[in-house]
Amino acid sequence: MPNDVKIGEKIDAILAGFSVDKSDIIPILQAVQAEYGYLSKEAISQIAKYLRLSESVVYGVSTFYAQFKFVPVGKTLIRVCRGTACHVRGVSRVLDEAAKILGIGPGETTSDMEYSLETIACFGSCALAPVLVANERVHGKVTPDKVKNILDKD
Amino acid sequence: MSKIVTFRQIKDNAEKEYNAWLKSEPIRIYIGAGTCGRAAGADEIIGSLKDELERRQIKAAITRVGCIGLCYLEPLVDVVKPGKPRVSYGNVTADKVSKIIDSYIIGDDPKCDTLLGTIGDEKIDGVPKLFDSPVLKPQVRIATRNCGFIDPEDINQYIVRGGYTGLDKALKMTQEEVIEEVSNSGLRGRGGAGAPTGWKWNLCRQNPGDKKYIICNADEGDPGAFMDRSVLESDPHTVLEGMLIGAYAMGATDGYIYCRAEYPQAIKRLNQAITQMEGYGLLGDNIMGSGFNFHLKIKEGAGAFVCGEETALMMSIEGNRGMPRPRPPFPAQSGLWGYPSNINNVETWANVPVIMEKGSKWYASYGTEKSKGTKTFALAGKVNCTGLIEVPMGITLREIVFDIGGGVIGNKKFKAVQTGGPSGGFIPADQDYLTADYESLAAAGSIMGSGAMVVMDEDTCAVDMARYFLTFTQSESCGKCVPCRVGTREMLGILEKMCAGNGAPQDIDRLMELCTAVSRGSLCALGGTAPNPVLTSLRNFRDEYDAHVNEHRCPALMCKDLISFYIDPNKCKACMICARNCPSEAIEGGKKMIHVVDQDRCIRCGVCLEKCPVKFSAVIKLSGEKMDVPDEPIPVGEA
């Protein structure tokens, strides 16, 4: 069976858990992204069909929110907090260091699809600033010289 | 469980189960395992505790609790032995776990290097009481009363500590009486704007509609704020009980919690809490036999700061782009799907159950004349004791920063405190006598906001901070109205120019003009308050702006493009440490040859300054001036 047919069936299975109601659009987009890491063109069109909305409406909603991605992300997602407390405590050097080690800028993915780098507005772990999150693992009081170690471990 | 109907039956059952739980294990260990605690290593501590206990064949139960707010002391471990008060340990590391086990779990001496003190009324000789410490003594815990003390995943522990008593009381009163009680307490919206809660509830109640909605705004997007996360993770039921009371008072049958997706643990706890409430019949139809029906859903946000604005939040719940709309009509008139709706913030809801349980008079005994009760703040930045605090309104900023916060890190000079996040402003150190309440913070040009409080020291640049906040508001502007969309971009452009050393004196006037236009012309509070960080920093730190635009100098030595690093040839001992650590290989020099920074290659990261041994202190950071140093390395001692 071709791969995209399988993916299509899997998305159908996800969609079946939701009602055909526009207010479910964000939870649907979240569920599909949780499975694939991003929202493909095909996924958007399948979601639109299911909700009986035009693809432009689904795109419109999904591009409004920072959470949704339209290109695949790496196996490890490195998110660097840009919150106030982190800023005051020098997170920009942590971000620079991560970018230097990975050789990519924020919003980019390494060519081997191992790492993606992102910045995030605030994690709400301000007391531990500066904060870096590798996938779901929160690292607090990160200094530039700790970044390499964190990246190696995760 | 057979269907429980009355509150008495629920409470009896909760007590029975709680007591059985307590008896099941004589020694109990509690670990703060909120997001902060886990980031500080709580999971590792739990792992090594389990290993050690098993190895020594000691029976003890480990319970994950929420956060008591002492983030700087995380990970926190509390031990309770039969007949003894709870003993608290802080900054516990895996290797210190066995020390605690040796001295207090096997032995009887709580003293060891991680000991903080006891919690509760009883004392142990020679051990301080934790709540007598300068950090905790000035605090009054109402919204956070259970945080760190109960297992947030166990509804019975919440009920045993008085939970759902307020709801039981409310259901025996009329809607008007409940609203009157909330009005009398003086409770105002804790999300930032400070609208009187009772007044808001009454508007929603009086507006006719076949259906009414209530919403909990848990889209805590302010960078630097984590009060709501902490409450939701540590005590979800207080928020849910508050919502039930509100729903009853306003005649709402359906509710939503809009929680940001960046808080997965909070969402998990809310889901568990809802399931447990359904088990007790505290959600659904005919709650506790009162005839009151209420259904609750959780909606996860998807990363848009503007969705903290109430009309944008409702657009998002409805499945649209989260853009605000003009008010009126207010949500109380036409809210979610056009029905009368009421939105309150997490902390506002969290206060409601206690107000109902203990009465409005008790609540109003805290605070100032116009700002009643307590307020939580997320104290962070350049302060020693970072954490989540809850203080009576009217406490001075000085008390918060110096008594509770333990002063500025490294004894640096206290410069300012920033309240209210990107919508708030800077309050300079010389106004630290100001009190934390709605009126006084507004008079200083800032806002209470949801409670972010970031302390800044002398190394923080006011212009850079204004630029930082504008970067945030500009990227979070939804783009619907021109003043916000274009205005914030223009303001940011000017601030970036200033920080890069390309500012001109007339930029300051242009910036002020834009501030007026953006604050007056914007559709919602995001744009309306976006100029606050600029206006307050201009008002209080005008000299720094002048230095940036007139002399291209950053007095706080923070703006990268305006600083240079030099190595003092008289102090350099040619130890090579700076050169080895320099990430851009910009430091030349060798054995017995003093080091020189190549200014063209230097990326101004400051690593050399940090790495240079204190006994030499040869690296110097300057802005707006040059240091006379040799072009090439020369032998040590010849400078």
pLDDT given at position B614: 95
Q: Are residues B576 and B544 in the same domain?
A: no
Q: CB distance from B463 to chain A under 8 Å?
A: no
Q: Which of B91, B233, B268, B605 to mutate to test the interface with A (most CBs of A within 10 A)?
A: B605
Find out whether the peptide bond into B264 is cis, omega within 30 degrees of 0. no
Q: Flag whether B95 is in a domain.
A: yes
Q: CB distance from B254 to chain A under 8 Å?
A: no
pLDDT given at position A121: 85
Domain CATH number, residue B213: 3.40.50.11540
Q: Which of B498, B527, B551 is the last residue of a domain?
A: B551
ipTM (interface pTM): 0.91
Q: Are residues B427 and B544 in the same domain?
A: no
The 10s digit of each residue's pLDDT in B93-120 is: 998 999 999 999 999 999 999 999 999 9
| Subunit contact B71:A30, Cβ cutoff 8 A | no
| Subunit contact A93:B605, Cβ cutoff 8 A | yes
pLDDT given at position A114: 95
Q: Are residues B170 and B249 in the same domain?
A: yes
Domain enclosing residue B573, as ranges = 560-623
Per DSSP, the residues of B297-310 read EEEE--S-GGGGSH
Q: Are residues B468 and B615 in the same domain?
A: no
Backbone angles phi, psi at B189, to 5 degrees: -55, 125
Chain A, residues 75-114, CB within 8 A of chain B, namely: 82-85, 87-89, 93, 96-97, 100
Q: Which domains does chain A have, with CATH numbers?
A: 3-64 (1.10.10), 76-153 (3.40.30.10)
Q: Which of B439, B457, B475 is the last residue of a domain?
A: B457
B257 has a pLDDT exceeding 70: yes
Distance CA B469, CA B451 (A): 16
Q: How confident is the model at residue A125 (pLDDT cuts 50, 70, 90)?
A: confident
A29 has a pLDDT exceeding 90: yes
Q: Which of B227, B262, B603, B610 to mutate to test the interface with A (most CBs of A within 10 A)?
A: B262
The per-residue b/e assignment along B90-123, b for 16 or more CB within 10 angstroms, e otherwise, is bbbeeebbbbbbebbbeeeebeeebbbbbbeeee
| Subunit contact B381:A61, Cβ cutoff 8 A | no
pLDDT given at position B466: 97
User: Mean per-residue pLDDT for A119-128?
Assistant: 84
Q: How confident is the model at residue B4 (pLDDT cuts 50, 70, 90)?
A: low
Distance CA A78, CA A134 (A): 5
Please name the amino acid found at residue B451.
G
Q: Are residues B287 and B345 in the same domain?
A: yes
Distance CA B402, CA B382 (A): 12
Distance CA A25, CA A62 (A): 9
User: Mean per-residue pLDDT for B491-513?
Assistant: 97
Q: What DSSP designation does B54 have?
A: H
Pairing of strands B28-32, B61-65: parallel
pLDDT given at position B221: 86
Contact status, residue B186 vs residue B315, Cβ threshold 8 Å: no
Helices (H) and strands (E) in chain B, counts: 24, 18
- A11: buried, middle or exposed (CB in 10 Å: 19+, 13-18, 0-12)? buried
Distance CA B212, CA B2 (A): 31
Q: What is the pTM of this model?
A: 0.94
The 10s digit of each residue's pLDDT in B415-461 is: 999 999 999 999 999 999 999 999 999 999 999 988 999 999 999 99
The set of residues, in sequence order, having a beta carbon less than 8 Å from that of B634 and lying 6+ positions away, is B569, B593, B594
For the beta carbon of residue A3, count every other beta carbon within 10 angstroms: 7
Domain CATH number, residue B83: 3.40.30.10
Q: Flag whether B308 is in a domain.
A: yes
C-alpha closest to that of B285 among B587, B596, B3, B594: B3
Q: Flag whether B382 is in a domain.
A: yes
B211 has a pLDDT exceeding 60: yes
pLDDT given at position B639: 72
Domain CATH number, residue B379: 3.10.20.600
The set of residues, in sequence order, having a beta carbon less than 8 Å from that of B37 and lying 6+ positions away, is B31, B67, B74, B75, B76
The set of residues, in sequence order, having a beta carbon less than 8 Å from that of B81 and lying 6+ positions away, is B26, B27, B104, B105
Q: Flag whether B333 is in a domain.
A: yes
Q: Are residues B428 and B495 in the same domain?
A: no
Q: Which residues of B touch A139 (CB under 8 A)?
A: 39
The 10s digit of each residue's pLDDT in B608-629 is: 999 999 999 999 999 999 999 9
Q: Which residues of A touch B476 (CB under 8 A)?
A: 121
Domain CATH number, residue B605: 3.30.70.20
Q: Are residues B466 and B451 in the same domain?
A: no
Q: Which residues of B touch A64 (CB under 8 A)?
A: 304, 321-323, 478
Contact status, residue B407 vs residue B401, Cβ threshold 8 Å: yes
Q: Are residues B519 and B489 in the same domain?
A: yes
* H or E stretch at B416: strand B414-419
Q: Flag whether B391 is in a domain.
A: yes
B638 has a pLDDT exceeding 60: yes
A2 has a pLDDT exceeding 80: no
Mean pLDDT of chain B, nearest integer? 95
Q: Are residues B476 and B601 in the same domain?
A: no
Q: Are residues B453 and B473 in the same domain?
A: no
B2 has a pLDDT exceeding 60: no
Q: Tokens at residue B62, please?
A: 């480990």
pLDDT given at position B3: 61
Q: How confident is the model at residue B150 (pLDDT cuts 50, 70, 90)?
A: very high
Q: Which of B35, B316, B321 sits opposite A138 (nearest CB)?
A: B35
| Subunit contact B38:A138, Cβ cutoff 8 A | yes
Provide the β-strand partners of residue B259.
B218, B300
Q: Flag whether B255 is in a domain.
A: yes
Q: Flag whether B277 is in a domain.
A: yes
Find out whether the peptide bond into A130 is cis, omega within 30 degrees of 0. yes
Cα first-last separation, chain A:
34
Q: Which of B437, B457, B477 is the last residue of a domain?
A: B457
Cα B441 vs. chain centroid, distance in angstroms? 18
Local structure of B406: helix, strand or coil = coil
Per DSSP, the residues of B577-605 read HHHHH-TT--EEEETTEEEEE-TTT----
Q: CB distance from A11 to chain B under 8 Å?
A: no
Q: Flag whether B149 is in a domain.
A: no
B527 has a pLDDT exceeding 70: yes
The 10s digit of each residue's pLDDT in B323-336 is: 999 999 999 999 99
Q: How confident is the model at residue B1 (pLDDT cuts 50, 70, 90)?
A: very low
Contact status, residue B232 vs residue B262, Cβ threshold 8 Å: no
Distance CA A17, CA B42 (A): 35
Q: CB distance from A129 to chain B under 8 Å?
A: yes
Contact status, residue B322 vs residue B316, Cβ threshold 8 Å: yes
Domain CATH number, residue B517: 1.20.1440.230
Q: Are residues B340 and B449 in the same domain?
A: no
Domain count, chain B: 5
Q: Are residues B384 and B400 in the same domain?
A: yes
